[in-house]
Amino acid sequence: MSSSLNESLGKSVDVAIVGAGITGLSAAWHLSQRGLTVAAFDGTGIGSGATAVQPGGVRQQWGTEVACRMAREAYAFYNEIGERLAPAVDPRLTACGYLFVARGEAELAAQRERLELQHKLGIPSREVTPEEAGELVEGLDTSEVVGGVWCDQDGYFDRPLAVVGAFADAAARDGATFVGRRVERIARDGEGWRLELAGGEVARAGAVVVAAAWDTPKLLGPLGVELPIEREPKYLFYSDPIRERLLEPLVVVPELHFAAKQLADGSVLASDLGGGSRPDEGKEDWHRNVRRAITATLPILEYVSFPVLVEGFYDVTPDRQPVLGAIDGHDGLFVAAGLNGRGLMMAPAIGRVIADGVATGEVEDWMSALSPSRFADGTLTPELQVV
């Protein structure tokens, strides 16, 4: 995206986007595609937040209608990413499959219920027996496994940052600009909005989309808009690249709060999914939990060591659903934040919904589950299939 501070400050744009992570970039491209003038503002650069850390997972196995529909739309988009965004580097979406393993009947029952919903919405997931799970994932110890669910369309971008670059470049080709400034304050300005930037400059826009992840509440709070979006630390362990292929699908063991996958470069990624909620217990604990889960479920990884620990942050909400759409009572103010660990895989749908909202004021009925007003209304639709 071209960086043109003076140009963007000199005239009012149709839409200002606060935050140039994958969410803001997708919104920028979708809005530019509709012929609107767009400027994206970020003090730390394009794709420098959680977007820089995510390893590229893309799945359609979700537990609520809204998440399934968005995942389905995003998956269809990503399958055509070459034609849609003409990326400079092929991000390579590889369908490795995601296996959710159940070790107890309660987890299996919950998986079956979500499977039913997924099937209604056209997601080609299926239940697998322990034997089938063992065939799908070589090296899985099935002795404690009672079943599981699998979708072979789920997968990974081998080069997730190429997706970020693709949205940024495509938005720039359509005329969007990037301004390397933090937005300190957003305020009403006649019919539109004024953005006060770090350094004292001011920018103006007809509409504003706040896509600033966990920083979003700080910008909206002074306008009287309270959103429960919080920062939650997450940790991924990585091995050094290994030549042997040990684990092609992504395996999730919800009861052990564990997920693992070998990436395209040969490194193995493993995570204690509960790790982020116990920051004071620290790295050794999560490492121990990962080792314990490997021994119990994926002994094939027993001799893999994990010297690299990467810290990142989810922007979480109480119902684990994004906050997306127009903010009531503030004409032309929109939010796209609280991605709860799924920002890359949902980005095409998030950007499309924001562009619809800005351009036409319309959103589909099923999107009401993500409405910014839901916390005040108390109408939450919790998503439980979180990783």
Smallest gap from residue 150 Cβ to ligand FAD (A): 18
Looking at the Cβ atoms of 199 and 329, the one nearer to ligand FAD is: 199
Span from 52-60, 237-245, 351-359, 365-373 in contact with ligand FAD (CB under 6 A): 52-60
Select from 8, 37, 54, 385 the one that contacts ligand FAD (CB under 6 A): 54
If one asks whether residue 21 binds ligand FAD (CB under 6 A), the answer comes out as: yes
Smallest gap from residue 276 Cβ to ligand FAD (A): 8
Looking at the Cβ atoms of 17 and 145, the one nearer to ligand FAD is: 17
Looking at the Cβ atoms of 48 and 79, the one nearer to ligand FAD is: 48
Looking at the Cβ atoms of 15 and 145, the one nearer to ligand FAD is: 15
If one asks whether residue 41 binds ligand FAD (CB under 6 A), the answer comes out as: yes
Select from 5, 12, 24, 261 the one that contacts ligand FAD (CB under 6 A): 24
- CA-to-CA distance for 215 and 339, rounded, in angstroms? 12
Span from 136-144, 208-216, 294-302, 369-377 in contact with ligand FAD (CB under 6 A): 208-216
What tokens were used for 43? 């003090």
Span from 133-141, 241-249, 285-293, 337-345 in contact with ligand FAD (CB under 6 A): 337-345
If one asks whether residue 44 binds ligand FAD (CB under 6 A), the answer comes out as: yes
Q: Which of 314, 320, 362 is nearest to 67 (CA)?
A: 320
Span from 86-94, 96-104, 125-133, 309-317 in contact with ligand FAD (CB under 6 A): 309-317
Span from 97-105, 255-263, 306-314, 376-384 in contact with ligand FAD (CB under 6 A): 306-314
If one asks whether residue 372 binds ligand FAD (CB under 6 A), the answer comes out as: no
Task: Output the residue with the shortest Cβ distance to ligand FAD.
Answer: 21
Contacts of 375 (CB under 8 A, 6+ apart): 226, 227, 228, 318
Span from 128-136, 252-260, 312-320, 326-334 in contact with ligand FAD (CB under 6 A): 312-320
3-state SS, one letter per residue, for the chain: CEECHHHHHHCCEEEEEECCCHHHHHHHHHHHHCCCCEEEECCCCCCCCHHHCCCCEECCCCCCHHHHHHHHHHHHHHHCHHHHHCCCCCCCEECCCEEEEECCHHHHHHHHHHHHHHHHCCCCEEEECHHHHHHHCCCCCCCCCCEEEEECCCEEECCHHHHHHHHHHHHHHCCCEEECCCEEEEEEECCEEEEEECCCCEEEEEEEEECCHHHHHHHHHHHCCCCCCEEEEEEEEECCCCCCCCCCCEEEEHHHCEEEEECCCCCEEEEECCHHHCCCCHHHHHHHHHHHHHHHHCHHHCCCCCCEEEEEEEEECCCCCCEEEECCCCCCEEEEECCCCCHHHHHHHHHHHHHHHHHHCCCCHHHHHHCCCHHHHCCCCCCCCCC
Tokens 């564990």 sit at which residue? 258
216 to 168, 180, 334, 386: CA distances (angstroms) = 21, 17, 11, 22
The site map against ligand FAD for 211-240 (x = CB under 6 A) is xxx-x---x--------------x-x----
If one asks whether residue 94 binds ligand FAD (CB under 6 A), the answer comes out as: no
Smallest gap from residue 195 Cβ to ligand FAD (A): 9
Select from 103, 114, 204, 342 the one that contacts ligand FAD (CB under 6 A): 342
If one asks whether residue 345 binds ligand FAD (CB under 6 A), the answer comes out as: yes
If one asks whether residue 275 binds ligand FAD (CB under 6 A), the answer comes out as: no
Select from 79, 92, 313, 384 the one that contacts ligand FAD (CB under 6 A): 313
Smallest gap from residue 170 Cβ to ligand FAD (A): 16
264 to 19, 56, 78, 223, 352: CA distances (angstroms) = 29, 11, 18, 45, 29
Select from 50, 162, 293, 301 the one that contacts ligand FAD (CB under 6 A): 50
Give the interface with ligand FAD as residue ranges (CB under 6 A).
18-24, 41-44, 48-51, 53-57, 182-183, 211-213, 215, 219, 234, 236, 312-314, 337, 339, 341-345
